């Protein structure tokens, strides 16, 4: 296994526009890093530069501390797992898994069932160590060990057409395992699967990666995959790295509006607001000494600490996750004190069984409309509706179309500078 280091990596295609712009990232030996971002943000390009399918315009790629910019793909000893699995339909599962070993043997001209050449090239072999238990031994041994690990033993004689999507996915991973690659690179491997299978495979990949302890880089545009799979998540926007952090940190401390809006489902609500100091704010709670954020859904009391960061900004963008809200009737007194109660009218409710989404709509003035449209552009979204989504407990009996007391956890409120997008809290 190996560490992968990216130093100021830039990729410009023929049009000269940087598809990847100055990306620096250290991926530790054995780490599972997810590259996530909307379509066109450069994540596949970045992965393809690591594996050697795309030239690096400038910057340096190191694998285990050695510069690899110019190394041929076969000399990098990295295994790529693609979206379409790239399985050979005419070969059995066994032959598909064995394929990289046989190919390597042919190209290196070695005979017999040894491990020689299994890394696909001379250079990689020096670094190649066994990820997990699949290494060493004959081709047959290695294929069978990988099949066992992936619970494919009973399917070894089948052809890909007779496998489920999940099984095909495992065969693709089997190929990466037998190669004893130093790292696995996944390019949206689950995007062809239905939602249920995607969930299952996500869990399988996460477990397998942990068991093998092999350095892995995984590209996806799906924030749920990003949050559930990786040790760390790197969020990209328009070729630029926005934040690299653990899923929890990304969720709790997004550095800017883009990351805040991209991570979390349903998405964080953004509301334009202005700071009002010294007033007796709505709800009265929040321990603020009177500071409130005046927003289209009402005045939200905030702590003196949050008021201090908001100070000096004429206009702010505040961020409230749907789960910061609750039906005030269901909040106990101790918890109530951490936030504020305000009255709103829900336009509609969606009952999901385990929870319900309540929507508060507001009428934006021209300035707010413009802000939301700028923000949508920033987020790469079509539009941001003038509404707030709240996640309420399933047992709540609130009704749409009536004044309703909602509680909001003001201690977790995010305050952004709408100009720079920076999270000030
Ligand atoms: P997706 O999720 O849609 O695959 P991505 O984040 O993986 O998107 P890339 O495929 O890396 O994005 O593309 C990044 C940018 O580079 C895009 O603007 C894309 O149009 C451009 N691009 C990608 N490949 C080429 C190419 N071969 N020639 C020119 N431009 C390219």
Residue 33 lies in a domain: yes
Distance CA 325, CA 317 (A): 18
To the nearest 10 degrees (0 to 180), the angle between helices 93-108 and 165-178 is 30
Distance CA 70, CA 323 (A): 48
Residue closest by Cα to atom 23 of ligand 1: 45
Q: What is the mean pLDDT of the chain?
A: 86
Distance CA 69, CA 58 (A): 9
Closest atom of ligand 1 relative to the 13 alpha carbon: 29
Residue 9 lies in a domain: yes
pLDDT at position 114: 34
**Average of per-residue pLDDT across 353-357:** 95
Residue closest by Cα to atom 18 of ligand 1: 40
Q: Tell me: pLDDT of 171 over 70.
A: yes
121 and 245 together in one domain: yes
248 and 277 together in one domain: no
Residue closest by Cα to atom 30 of ligand 1: 13
- Tens of pLDDT, residues 39-73: 899 999 999 999 999 999 999 999 999 999 999 99
Token pair 């940087």: residue: 18
- Under DSSP, the state recorded for 155 is G
Last residue of a domain, one of 223, 257, 291: 257
- Under DSSP, the state recorded for 308 is H
Residue 422 lies in a domain: no
- Tens of pLDDT, residues 212-261: 899 999 999 998 899 999 899 999 999 999 999 999 999 999 999 999 99
Residue closest by Cα to atom 28 of ligand 1: 13
Last residue of a domain, one of 257, 275, 306: 257
Is any ligand 1 atom within 6 A of the Cβ of residue 13? yes
221 and 344 together in one domain: no
249 and 272 together in one domain: no
277 and 231 together in one domain: no
- Which of 9, 21, 36, 44 has the most ligand 1 atoms within 8 A of CB, as the residue to mutate? 44
Residue 190 lies in a domain: yes
Residue 309 lies in a domain: yes
188 and 47 together in one domain: yes
Is there a contact between 33 and 233 (Cβ–Cβ < 8 Å)? yes
Is there a contact between 18 and 58 (Cβ–Cβ < 8 Å)? no
Residue closest by Cα to atom 20 of ligand 1: 40
Q: How many domains does the chain have?
A: 2
Closest atom of ligand 1 relative to the 14 alpha carbon: 29
Q: Over pLDDT 90: what percentage of the chain?
A: 57
Band of pLDDT at residue 390, cut at 50, 70 and 90: very high
DSSP H helices, 272-337, are 304-310, 333-336
The neighbour count for residue 18, using CB atoms within 10 Å, is 19
Is omega for the bond preceding 266 within 30 degrees of 0, making it cis?
yes
To the nearest 10 degrees (0 to 180), the angle between helices 139-149 and 165-178 is 140
189 and 304 together in one domain: no
Quote the distance between the C-alpha of residue 295 and its chain's center.
30
Is any ligand 1 atom within 6 A of the Cβ of residue 120? no
Kindly state the tokens that stand for 245: 């952090």
Kindly state the tokens that stand for 20: 């990847």
pLDDT at position 128: 40
CA atoms within 13 A on the CB side of 340: 28
Distance CA 71, CA 340 (A): 59
Closest atom of ligand 1 relative to the 45 alpha carbon: 11
pLDDT at position 112: 38
Closest atom of ligand 1 relative to the 41 alpha carbon: 6
- CB-based contacts of 211: which residues, under 8 Å, 6+ apart? 132, 149
Last residue of a domain, one of 237, 257, 277: 257
pLDDT at position 289: 62
95 and 142 together in one domain: yes
- Tens of pLDDT, residues 16-34: 999 999 999 999 999 999 9
Kindly state the tokens that stand for 105: 């043997």
Q: Tell me: pLDDT of 421 over 80.
A: yes
3-class secondary structure, 146:
helix
Q: Extract the runs of DSSP E, i.e. beta strands, from 147-268.
A: 183-187, 215-220, 232-237, 240-245
The lowest-confidence range among 66-70, 90-94, 284-288 is 284-288
321 and 195 together in one domain: no
CATH number at residue 109: 3.40.50.300
Q: Is 133 left (phi over 0), alpha (psi -120 to 50) or beta?
A: alpha
- CB-based contacts of 324: which residues, under 8 Å, 6+ apart? 339, 408, 409, 412, 413
Residue 185 lies in a domain: yes
pLDDT at position 83: 64
**Average of per-residue pLDDT across 265-283:** 79
pLDDT at position 190: 83
Is any ligand 1 atom within 6 A of the Cβ of residue 295? no
Q: Which of 232, 301, 298 is nearest to 263 (CA)?
A: 232
pLDDT at position 108: 61
146 and 32 together in one domain: yes
Q: Tell me: pLDDT of 91 over 90.
A: yes
Distance CA 16, CA 237 (A): 18
- Tens of pLDDT, residues 121-160: 333 333 444 443 444 678 899 999 989 988 899 999 999 9
pLDDT at position 257: 93
Q: Which domain holds residue 56?
A: 4-257
pLDDT at position 149: 84
Residue closest by Cα to atom 5 of ligand 1: 40
3-class secondary structure, 411:
helix
306-315: b (≥16 Cβ within 10 Å) or e: bbebbeebee
Token pair 């009402």: residue: 298
Band of pLDDT at residue 167, cut at 50, 70 and 90: confident
271 and 173 together in one domain: no
Residue 425 lies in a domain: no
Distance CA 263, CA 250 (A): 7
pLDDT at position 129: 40
321 and 222 together in one domain: no
- Which of 34, 40, 50 has the most ligand 1 atoms within 8 A of CB, as the residue to mutate? 40
pLDDT at position 111: 41
Is there a contact between 404 and 398 (Cβ–Cβ < 8 Å)? yes
Residue closest by Cα to atom 1 of ligand 1: 39
Residue 262 lies in a domain: no
Token pair 């709800």: residue: 283
Q: Tell me: pLDDT of 405 over 70.
A: yes
3-class secondary structure, 371:
helix
């Amino acid at each position: 296994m190996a560490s992968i280091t990216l130093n100021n990596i830039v990729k410009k295609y023929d049009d000269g526009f940087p598809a990847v712009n100055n990306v620096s990232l250290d991926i530790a030996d054995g780490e599972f890093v997810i590259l996530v971002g909307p379509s066109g943000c450069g994540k596949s390009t970045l992965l393809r530069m690591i594996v050697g399918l795309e030239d690096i315009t400038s910057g340096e790629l190191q694998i285990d501390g050695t510069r690899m910019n110019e190394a041929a793909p076969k000399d990098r000893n990295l295994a790529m797992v693609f979206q379409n699995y790239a399985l050979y339909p005419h070969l059995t599962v066994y032959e598909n898994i064995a394929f990289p070993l046989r190919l390597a043997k042919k190209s290196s001209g070695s005979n017999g069932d040894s491990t020689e050449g299994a890394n696909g090239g001379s250079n990689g072999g020096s670094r190649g160590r066994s990820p997990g238990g699949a290494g060493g031994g004959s081709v047959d041994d290695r294929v069978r060990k990988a099949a066992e690990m992936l619970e494919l033993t009973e399917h070894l004689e089948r052809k890909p057409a007779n496998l489920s999507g999940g099984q095909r996915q495992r065969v693709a991973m089997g190929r990466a395992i037998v190669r004893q690659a130093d790292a696995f690179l996944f390019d949206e491997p689950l995007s062809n699967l239905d939602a249920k299978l995607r969930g299952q495979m996500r869990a399988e990949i996460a477990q397998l990666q942990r068991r093998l302890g092999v350095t892995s880089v995984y590209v996806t545009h799906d924030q749920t995959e990003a949050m559930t799979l990786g040790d760390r998540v790197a969020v990209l926007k328009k070729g630029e790295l926005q934040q690299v952090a653990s899923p929890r940190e990304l969720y709790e401390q997004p550095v800017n509006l883009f990351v805040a809006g991209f991570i979390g489902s349903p998405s964080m609500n953004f509301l334009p607001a202005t700071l009002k100091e010294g007033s007796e704010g709505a709800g009265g709670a929040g321990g603020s000494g009177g500071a409130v954020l005046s927003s289209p859904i009402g005045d939200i009391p905030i702590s003196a600490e949050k008021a201090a960061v908001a100070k000096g900004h004429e206009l702010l963008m505040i961020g409230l996750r749907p789960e910061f809200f609750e039906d005030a009737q269901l909040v106990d007194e101790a918890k109530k004190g951490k936030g504020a109660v305000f009255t709103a009218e829900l336009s509609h409710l969606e009952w999901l069984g385990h929870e319900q989404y309540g929507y508060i709509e507001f009428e934006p003035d021209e300035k707010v409309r413009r802000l939301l449209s700028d923000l949508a552009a920033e987020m790469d979204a079509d539009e941001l509706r003038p509404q707030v989504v709240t996640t309420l407990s399933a047992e709540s009996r609130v009704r749409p179309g009536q004044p309703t007391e909602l509680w909001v956890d003001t201690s977790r409120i995010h305050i952004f500078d709408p100009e720079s997008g920076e999270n000030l809290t």
